[in-house]
């Protein structure tokens, strides 16, 4: 978890709401423009690879954090259920906790949906947005003639039925490594190294201090996400990265999301699925940094 010595590093706990503490860390020059990483459902902030964080931290102060009910953050859903919307306000609490007025926001999967909520509800806090392996906020009621988007693959849905089952550490790690294999699109040529994801799973459990499965976000109220029609109001520079082998949000999800946000661009990263193997990180970092650089030029012009 320790970044290269040349990069400034700190970690802290942030009070996000009464009784809710979030673990977070920051890597990079404290005077650099902040970049906030928002991970997907039920995933610790450590799912953002250190190699990606280090690459981004060469240009930004990179913030990542554990969602509530993941990693070292407060686990409270069983006693005090909360809606998905609270996870978006948690992201703002992380910015507040580090004294950041506005940041570039990068979101994966559910994190991409939370980024969309920030674009709608707190646009002054978002310098630019980059989202990937995600879908657009729902439109309710559906628009007549709208494109019919594919859902998750049958293999992924079958695995999700067993997410919350109790397992010992060895079985839990093995289950999640297989989950990552499916998510990566390995069966269709996606990038995947078993040893890499096995090490990630062990590290995440060591970080959290327990081996319990995490399913809170799958149970949280998601009714507040039906705001896709409002995306037409967004004026923040937005990049949508298409992962062509994503079995959860396969094409044309990326193109559809970009079509809802004025001026949004789409960049495709070949052989990328719903995971972050080391093989895709250089292209992913390059796409993010090109976007944040362009957005900052636009702010100065």
Q: Catalytic residue positions?
A: 109, 246, 274
Q: If DSSP codes are grouped into helix, strand and coil, which group holds residue 148?
A: coil
Of 235, 243, 247, nearest in space to 266 by CA: 243
User: By C-alpha distance, which of 258, 223, 218 is closest to 241?
Assistant: 258
**Inter-residue contact 292 to 128 (CB < 8 Å):** yes
Q: Which two tokens stand for residue 97?
A: 């906790």
- How far CA 288 is from CA of 3, 62, 129, 143, 161, in Å, comes to 19, 12, 9, 31, 33
Specify burial of residue 233 (Cβ count, 10 A radius: 0-12, 13-18, 19+). exposed
Three-state secondary-structure class, residue 13: strand
CA distance 255 to 219: 28
**Token pair listed for 228:** 């896709």
């Amino acid at each position: 978890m320790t970044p290269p010595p040349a990069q400034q590093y700190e970690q802290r706990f942030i009070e996000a709401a009464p009784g809710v503490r979030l673990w977070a860390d920051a890597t990079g020059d404290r005077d650099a423009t902040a970049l906030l990483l928002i991970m997907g459902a039920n995933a610790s902030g450590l799912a953002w690879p250190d190699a990606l964080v280090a690459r981004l931290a060469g240009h930004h102060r990179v913030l990542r954090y554990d969602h509530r009910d993941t990693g070292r953050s407060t686990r409270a859903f069983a006693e005090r259920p909360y809606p998905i919307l609270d996870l978006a306000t948690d992201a703002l609490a992380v910015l507040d906790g580090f004294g950041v007025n506005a940041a570039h926001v990068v979101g994966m999967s559910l994190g991409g949906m939370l980024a969309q909520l920030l674009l709608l509800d707190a646009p002054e806090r978002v310098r630019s947005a980059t989202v990937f392996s995600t879908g657009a906020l729902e439109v309710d009621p559906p628009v007549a003639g709208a494109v019919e988007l594919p859902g998750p693959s049958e293999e992924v849905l079958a695995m999700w039925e067993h997410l919350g089952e109790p397992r010992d550490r060895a079985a839990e790690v093995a289950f999640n490594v297989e989950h990552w294999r499916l998510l990566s699109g390995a069966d269709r040529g996606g990038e995947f190294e078993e040893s890499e994801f096995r090490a990630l799973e062990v590290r995440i459990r060591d970080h959290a201090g327990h081996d319990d499965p995490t399913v809170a976000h799958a149970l949280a109220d998601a009714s507040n996400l039906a705001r896709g029609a409002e995306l037409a109001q967004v004026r923040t520079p937005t990049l949508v990265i298409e992962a062509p082998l994503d079995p959860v949000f396969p094409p044309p999800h990326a193109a559809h999301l970009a079509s809802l946000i004025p001026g949004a661009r789409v960049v495709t990263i070949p052989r990328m699925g719903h995971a972050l193997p080391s093989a895709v990180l250089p292209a992913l970092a390059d796409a993010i940094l090109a976007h944040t650089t362009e957005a900052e030029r636009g702010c100065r012009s």
